[in-house]
Amino acid sequence: MNAPKREFDDLSVSITLPAETHPVNVVQGAAVSFIDRCYVLMDRPSPQQIRVTLSAKEAVDGEETLGKIAEAFEARLRSSDLYHRVAADNEVLTDAVVAQAFGFGNAPSASPGLDELEAFDFSDDAFDDPLGIAQTWEEKHGRPAPSAPPAASAQDEDPK
Amino acid sequence: MNAPLQPNIGFPAYFRHREVAGKVVLTNFEGNHIILEQHEFRAFVEGTVERGSELWTRLDEKNFLRETYRVHEAASALRERKHFLDQGPILHMLVVTLRCNETCIYCHASRANMDQVETDMSKETAEKAVDIILSSTNPFVTIEFQGGEPLVNFEVVKHVVEYALKKNADIGKRLEFTMVSNMALMTEEKLDFLLEHKVQLCTSIDGPEKLHNSQRKLNTLDAFQKARYWIHRINERYGEMGLDKTLYHVEALLTLTKASLAQHKEIIDTYVALGCKTIFLRPVDPFGFAERTRLKIEYPRSEYLEFYRRAVDYILELNAQGVEILERYAAIFLTKILQGTDPNFLDLRSPAGPGIGALAYNYDGNIYTCDEGRMLAAMGDDALHLGHVGESRYRDLMGHETVRAVTVASNLDGQPDCEQCAYNPFCGTVPAHNLKTQGTIYGHMPDNNICMVHKGIQDYLFEKLGENDPDTLRAFERWTTIRPREHFVHDE
């Protein structure tokens, strides 16, 4: 990561970072942890830059205190960067863990048994469905239901 | 100053980390943990750990290495940690009345005076609540009688027990009843019924007599004495029934006020003297009392955490002397940290319990995601109201947009800050608390009181684990040994 640039005023410190080496989610991940101490503003002074402005909620005695806040932010930023890079590098593995942990094929306890399926009241509406996700295509679009396929004629039958 | 880390991406498997007492606590995706010295952490992140070394072996055993990461093992561990996800509500809180014979300094909106009989639950409402409870998808349900003071409306308590047992005879759930009572209205006749029907009893003790009686006021000024009498009497009856007294005894709930913080030893000694084996050092909730009361009883969470450390240090001292008492918050976290499973404490899991793990039924039949939701409604905010026993079906409740919202909001993997927190696998947030204190069910974790408490307690526990003191580790191991109280379960 390129070095951040700090700018101070009486009540706040702004840290400007090159956008190319600082993905927004990494910067957000660091910035959010300062909302207990500071008012936090993130903006883009130019397309190539991300700026984080930290204004202390309580009175600060000058640049020294703000400098400590900036240091803490930069340490948090490095930690956030490490987290996101490791998470991205391991994403295929963690996705596989989730799929195995919660997929039906691997979680037999989550699957209903035949007795439970037989007893289940499928006529009961599960949820409100304002988008019609649970509706069939025909219900949703007012189309007639497809007619039953024609019965196989005698000619289609395999010769005995 | 140390040189910045030069990460070797490709060496570590997924991990989160946090510095605690000069060491580094790491947790991985499925919730294993390891505590490293700073130089070990650097070697891990920079990928310079020598293959086959002692550190390599430790990291490998806990599944922290990308090269040897065992997906199937991680999936099994994650499934175990989230075993509660496909179960449905287990805890059903029945507020059988708002009337209460005690006036507690921290209780305001959730109680009514003894003449307000209109705040009693009717038998008809109670039956409808039980119908919903027994339609839960969870094969194990607990009906918890709350108030007000539930003994004030004992006829309905009795009716619920008898109705639920009768109805459950066909349904066949494992059914449990618990009651939280101040005990002042207990009689031998009521106790006979409760013991005969295996209702687990729990009371409230705020500490030594003087502190308790100054916070929980009876007209007769003997709230503590009455609670103490019935704790001993019930324990005696358990003994007469042939139950193992180390497992079957009355436990108590503690409300920590500002006045409590200076009395950790006195409070713990009181619990030990009463025969309690558990003490739950939870900070006071922001529900149910007026603003002027809040100023009298509330305290900064930093002061609470100092109290917590002193108190648990003292509990560990007692444990080393052979006294059997555990701190419940610590036991919940340690069960997750050391045993790799989740004890399903509903306020301390992800996603949290409201709705999908618990429901609260008010005296008037209104249903809420949790007891705090009911209290919020009493204070004018019905955001966590789900329906009514007369109209709602179980599926309406589970599919309710509020249940979905609190479930999404309390999933820590979607919470900024929690996403990267090393304590993510062991932690939880409370949507009702967040709503009350921060105006959003999501909350803002960096200045969230519950987050601060949870982080502070886990910092303490990992500090203790890192010290490797054999007495402490033995106590922690004992605290995480779950002994089910099968006597209280109706499964015939």
Q: What is d(CA B90, CA B312) in angstroms, rounded to the nearest whole number?
A: 30
**Chain A residue numbers touching B399 (CB-CB < 8 A):** 126-128
Nearest CA of chain A to the CA of B437: how many Å?
A: 14
Provide the 10 A C-beta neighbour count for residue B270.
Answer: 23
Q: Which residues of A touch B420 (CB under 8 A)?
A: 29, 79-80, 83
Provide the shortest C-alpha distance from residue A31 to chain B (in Å): 9
The alpha helices in B379-492, defined as continuous H runs, are 394-398, 401-409, 431-438, 449-467, 470-479
Look at residues B355, B490, B450, B429 and name the one whose alpha carbon lies nearest to residue B85: B355
- The predicted pLDDT at position B265 comes to 98
Chain B residue with minimal CA distance to A129?
A: B399
Domain with CATH 3.20.20.70 in chain B: 87-377
Nearest CA in chain A to B29: A94
Asked if residues B368 and B390 have their Cβ atoms less than 8 Å apart, the reply is no
Note whether A29 contacts B416, CB cutoff 8 Å: yes
Choose among A90, A100, A102: nearest Cβ to B14: A90
Residue B380 has a CB neighbour count (10 Å cut-off) of 7
Beta bridge partners of B95: B146
**Inter-chain contact B69–A90, Cβ cutoff 8 Å?**
yes
* Collapsed DSSP state (helix, strand, coil) of residue A77: helix
Q: Which of B4, B75, B86 sits opposite A100 (nearest CB)?
A: B75
The CA distance from B414 to B402, in Å, is: 17
User: What pLDDT was estimated at residue B491?
Assistant: 86
Task: Name residue, tokens 């419940």.
Answer: B328
Q: Whose CA is closest to B180, among B203, B152, B198? A: B203
Measured between CA atoms, the residue of chain A closest to residue B449 is: A36
Contact assignment for B82 to A101 by CB distance below 8 Å? yes
Choose the closest CB to B9 out of A86, A94, A96: A86
Are the C-beta atoms of residues B309 and B459 closer than 8 Å to each other? no
Identity of the amino acid at B475: A
Q: Domain spanning A5-90 has what CATH number?
A: 3.30.70.60
Torsion sign across C-alpha atoms A72, A73, A78, A82: positive
Q: Do A93 and B82 touch (CB under 8 A)?
A: no
Instruction: Centre a 10 Å sphere on the Cβ of residue B8 and count the other Cβ atoms it contains.
Output: 15
Q: Chain A contacts of B15, Cβ < 8 Å?
A: 86
- Percentage, residues of chain A above pLDDT 90: 53
Q: Using an 8 Å Cβ cutoff, are A54 and A38 in contact?
A: yes
User: In chain A, what are the domain boundaries?
Assistant: 5-90
Question: Which residue among B79, B82, B446 places its CB closest to the CB of A33?
Answer: B446
Q: Which of B402, B374, B385, B386 is nearest to B287 (CA)?
A: B374
Q: Which of B7, B14, B399 sits opposite A127 (nearest CB)?
A: B399
Nearest chain B residue to A111 by CA: give it.
B86
For the stretch B330-361, what's the b/e string if a residue is b when 16 or more beta carbons lie within 10 angstroms of its beta carbon?
A: bbbbbbbbbebebbbbbbbbbbbbbbbbbbbb
Residues from chain B that touch A36, judged by Cβ atoms under 8 A, are: 446-447
Rounded Cα–Cα distance for residues B450 and B428 (Å): 9
Strand partners, B388: B366
Instruction: Please tell me the predicted confidence (pLDDT) of residue A137.
Output: 56
Measured CA distances, B268 to A34, B272, B313 (Å): 37, 6, 11
What residues contact residue B317 under an 8 Å CB cut-off, 6+ apart? none
Helix (H/G/I), strand (E/B), else coil: A109 = helix
- Counting one residue from chain A and one from chain B, the pairs whose CB atoms sit within 8 A come to 88
What are the CA-CA distances from residue A12 to residues A8, A58, A77 (Å)?
A: 6, 11, 18
Preceding omega of B148 cis (within 30 degrees of 0): yes
The three-state secondary structure class of B297 is helix
Question: How many C-beta neighbours within 10 Å does residue A142 have?
Answer: 6
Phi-psi category of residue B72: left, alpha or beta, with phi > 0 → left and psi -120 to 50 → alpha: alpha
Q: Which residues of B touch A (CB under 8 A)?
A: 4-5, 7, 9-10, 12-17, 29-30, 45, 66, 69, 71-72, 74-76, 78-79, 82, 85-86, 393, 395, 399, 401, 416-417, 419-420, 444, 446-447
Instruction: Tell me what pLDDT residue A122 has.
Output: 57
Is the model's pLDDT at A125 over the cut of 60? Answer: no
Q: Would you call A83 and B9 a contact, using CB atoms and an 8 Å cutoff?
A: no
Whole-angstrom Cα distance, residue B354 to residue B408? 11
* pLDDT tens sequence for chain B (492 residues): 467 889 999 999 999 999 999 999 999 999 999 999 999 999 999 999 999 999 999 999 999 999 999 999 999 999 999 999 988 999 999 999 999 999 998 886 678 999 999 999 999 999 999 999 999 999 999 999 998 999 999 999 999 999 999 999 999 999 999 999 999 999 999 999 999 999 999 999 999 999 999 999 999 999 999 999 999 999 999 999 999 999 999 999 999 999 999 999 999 999 999 999 999 999 998 776 666 788 889 999 999 999 999 999 999 999 999 999 999 999 999 999 999 999 999 999 999 999 999 999 999 999 999 999 999 999 899 999 999 999 999 999 999 999 999 999 999 999 999 999 999 999 999 999 999 999 999 999 999 999 999 999 999 999 999 999 999 999 999 999 888 899 999 986
Interchain pair B14, A93: CB under 8 A: yes
List residues bridging with B161 in a β-sheet.
Answer: none
Cα–Cα distance between A83 and B183 in angstroms, integer?
A: 52
- B297 with B284: CB under 8 angstroms? yes
The runs of H, that is alpha helices, within A13-119 are 24-31, 63-89, 91-102, 114-119
B29 vs A80, A89, A94: nearest CB:
A94
Q: Is the pLDDT of residue A63 over 90?
A: no
Closest CA to B357 of B175, B92, B94: B92
B315: phi > 0 → left, psi -120 to 50 → alpha, else beta; which?
alpha
B82 alpha-carbon distance from chain centroid: 16
Which among B13, B78, B447 has CB closest to A93?
B13
Quick check: A159 pLDDT over 80? no
Percent of chain A at pLDDT exceeding 70: 63
Angle at Cα B172 formed by Cα B169 and Cα B178, nearest 5°? 85
Q: Nearest residue on chain B to A84, judged by CA atoms? A: B420
Q: Do A102 and B79 make contact, defined as CB atoms within 8 angstroms?
A: yes
**Contact assignment for A102 to B82 by CB distance below 8 Å:** yes
pLDDT band at A158 (very low <50, low <70, confident <90, very high): very low
| Chain A neighbors of B44, CB-CB under 8 A | none
Question: Contact B4/A36, CB-based, under 8 Å?
Answer: no
Name residue B305's amino acid.
Answer: L
What fold does the segment set B87-377 form as a domain?
TIM Barrel (3.20.20)
Asked whether A61 and B402 are in contact (CB, 8 A), the reply is: no
| CB count in 10 Å sphere of residue B484 | 8
B447 contacts on A by Cβ (under 8 Å): 35-36
Of A82, A87, A102, the CB nearest to B45: A82
Cβ neighbors of B267 (< 8 A, separation 6 or more) are B206, B207, B208, B211, B254, B260, B279, B311
Question: What is the Cα gyration radius of chain A?
Answer: 29
Check B417 against A101: CB less than 8 A apart. Answer: no
ipTM: 0.92
In sequence order, which ranges of B116-208 are alpha helices (DSSP H)?
A: 123-133, 154-171, 188-196
Q: Chain B residues with CB inside 8 Å of A90's CB? A: 13-14, 29, 66, 69
A126–B4: do the CB atoms touch at under 8 Å? Answer: no
Give the three-class secondary structure for B142: strand
CA distance to B11, B145, B286, per residue, from B281 (Å): 41, 22, 15
Residue type, B157: V
Q: Which of A82, A94, A96 sits opposite B5 (nearest CB)?
A: A82
Residues of A with CB under 8 A from a CB of B: 28-29, 32-36, 78-80, 82-83, 85-87, 89-90, 93-94, 96-102, 106-107, 109-110, 124-128
Residue among B14, B399, B446 whose CB faces A32 most closely: B446
- pLDDT tens column, B350-400: 999 999 999 999 999 999 999 999 999 998 999 999 999 999 999 999 999
Cα–Cα distance for residue pair A30/B272, rounded to 1 Å: 45
